Amino acid sequence: MDSRSQENFLIHTMNNGFDKAAASFSQLIGCPVKISSTQSILLHDKNDFSYMAEETGDLYILITQVIGTISGKSFLILDQEESEEIFRAIATSISNQLLREAFLLEIDNIISASVIAQLSNKFSIEIYGDVPRLHKVSAKKIQDFLSQEMISSDTSNVIFSNITFQFDQKEKVRPQFIWMLSDRIYSYLPANPILK
């Protein structure tokens, strides 16, 4: 299998994980959630931030360490408006900042776990997500923050995903997701991978 096909299989597997995350997200908030669009790209330069949407204000960066057969990290990036949209979708007004952050951590846990489970199943590897961490970072400092996080990692595959979670006809959340995974993942490709 050529490298392009390997990359496509990896991204397809991750996108299936996002679909499963929407189903889990629905159960958590008690209303239907679907993914109306997903755009994922594998970057060959982990210092290329040109793919990121311009953000302003403070951002929530939720980081999950991938541990097990291969290593990696995931970064879920939400701006203030997106986090507020999530709280509106569940028809609750959580005013306590600690509870808000705990809820965002749980959402990251659900999404990351769904993608990690798909990777684990499709590549027949044992990987897990560690307890997520939350950082609040100014949009002006996001690139510096991510660069520092990426330096401390031995991963070389960077997958950027823009996902649109839709709660009803009008309410949408479009978080950015960055995944860093070890190149070793390709050595665990199934013999005859099928995209489905």
For residue range 35-74, list pLDDT tens digits in order: 888 888 887 665 666 556 567 788 999 999 999 999 999 9
pLDDT at 124 exceeding the cut of 80: yes
Domain 3-35+57-185 has CATH 3.40.1550.10: yes
How far is 74 from 93, CA to CA, in rounded Å? Answer: 28
pLDDT at 96 exceeding the cut of 80: no
Maximum average pLDDT range among 41-45, 82-86, 155-159: 82-86
161 phi and psi, to 5 degrees? -130, 135
Distances in Å between the alpha carbon of 188 and those of 11, 109, 139? 15, 24, 36
Which parts of the chain fold into alpha helices (H)? Answer: 3-29, 80-89, 97-123, 142-151
Q: What pTM was computed for the model?
A: 0.87
Residue 107 tokens, joined:
């959402």
Query: How many residues does this entry show for the chain?
Result: 196
Average pLDDT score over residue span 140-156:
76
